[in-house]
Amino acid sequence: MLVVALRVKQLRPICQIRRAFTLVELLVVISVIALLISILLPSLKSARAQAKTVACSSHLSQIGKAAMGYSMSHDGWLCGSPGTSGSVLYGVANAADPLAEELATDAVQIWDYAGPLAARYMQKSLPTSRLERMRIIREGVFKCPENRFMAEPFVDHGGMFETAPMVSYNTFRNFLMWPRTMVNWDPSRPWGPRAPVPEASFDHLDGTTLQPRSHLPRMDRIVNPGIKAYLADGNRFTEADGRISYDPDWNAEDGGMFCNGGPTMPLGNQTELVLSSYHYDEQLGRYGYRHKRSKQRGIVVNFLDGHCAYMSESESRHPDTWWPKGTRIKFSELNKHSGLLVLPRLDSTYHYVVGR
């Protein structure tokens, strides 16, 4: 018995010896961990980007549903036009400074779709201060999760307007404007068969692109609403040096800060790069094409039938998404990306006719 106890006592120090990791083993473990991180990080980044795309789609879907509610309540007319929801500004502000700070309307601008929808269909209380209303309709459901950009007013206003988050979503004036049938505004017929104000007609824009004469900014005049865009990611003005800006005038022209011509438009001048800025400078393109998938930038689009979908930059260039069926677009009035897509289908006068 004594002999066994002595042997156990002699073995105990040997059992207590602890073996440490060698330097090689530590390096192997660190290398494996680094490899796993390098494999997982892109997946995590992609998942995060995908989640933001889904959230953006949800925002656009909510705005689109409110816009459909507006159309149903207003005999089919579309929200966001100077001849529809924005026409009220001509009644209350016609003699006012275009940069008036206090206006008792839902819309902050004749092209503003967000104010009327927020006030009437999203139960938001909007103040009379245009600055305060602009803050409300640039945030929450009206802000894309990938929009981290700030915009500054490009007008020498000398007033209260400030650098603020860029407007995330744009409507498209190609559906919101009347054909070349502009007449003077008639208060008794604010939504007549002809444009109620000059700003609501294509007569007010340069160029020779022609909508079909029967077009009006009404749901019952939209052919194939499932492929026609109402809202999408975008940015309205980008300066040549890369700064983002916005027009705070209540009667801003050609879409103001809420509306643009879409990804088929040419560069034009260096202060209006809108969505088509991507072909001018890839860095500027990130402002509008904010969502990245499979190494290509893209946008989330809300269509006139209410559904939302992601479109890659190349997919978004086709004119059929952004123009009414039957529109005759002069080849020179398309950017190079859109022009190449329709080149085989030009007619003898070098026009593309929207076929869907």
Does 180 have pLDDT greater than 70? yes
Does 204 have pLDDT greater than 60? yes
Q: Which residues pair with 301 in a beta bridge?
A: 232, 309
Task: Quote the tokens at residue 98.
Answer: 């275009």
**Cα separation values, 319 from 6, 107, 338, Å:** 94, 29, 7
pLDDT value of position 276: 39
Task: Quote the tokens at residue 81.
Answer: 């036009």
pLDDT, one tens digit per residue, over 181-199 is 655 545 555 445 678 888 8
- Pairwise CA distance, residues 218 & 226, whole Å: 15
pLDDT value of position 93: 62
pLDDT, one tens digit per residue, over 245-278 is 888 889 888 889 999 888 888 765 433 334 433 3
Percent of the chain predicted with pLDDT > 90 = 41
Q: Of 244, 278, 253, 254, nearest to 264 (Cα)?
A: 278
Q: Of 80, 52, 56, 53, nearest to 304 (Cα)?
A: 80
The pairing of strands 237-238 and 244-246 is antiparallel
pLDDT value of position 76: 95
- Pairwise CA distance, residues 92 & 100, whole Å: 11
| pLDDT classification of 8: cutoffs 50, 70, 90 | very low
Region 35-44 average pLDDT: 68
pLDDT, one tens digit per residue, over 60-107 is 999 999 999 999 999 999 999 999 999 988 877 655 677 778 888 889
Angle at 60 between CA 44 and CA 316, to 5 degrees: 80
- Pairwise CA distance, residues 15 & 276, whole Å: 74
- Pairwise CA distance, residues 9 & 64, whole Å: 82
The pTM of the full predicted model, rounded to 2 decimals, is 0.82
| Torsion (CA) 44, 49, 54, 60 in degrees, nearest 10 | 170
- Pairwise CA distance, residues 307 & 326, whole Å: 23
pLDDT value of position 150: 93
Where does residue 182 fall: left (phi above 0), alpha (psi -120 to 50 degrees), or beta otherwise?
A: beta
Give the least confident one: 31-35, 111-115, 241-245, 267-271.
267-271
pLDDT value of position 270: 38
pLDDT value of position 3: 47
Where does residue 56 fall: left (phi above 0), alpha (psi -120 to 50 degrees), or beta otherwise?
A: alpha
pLDDT value of position 280: 43
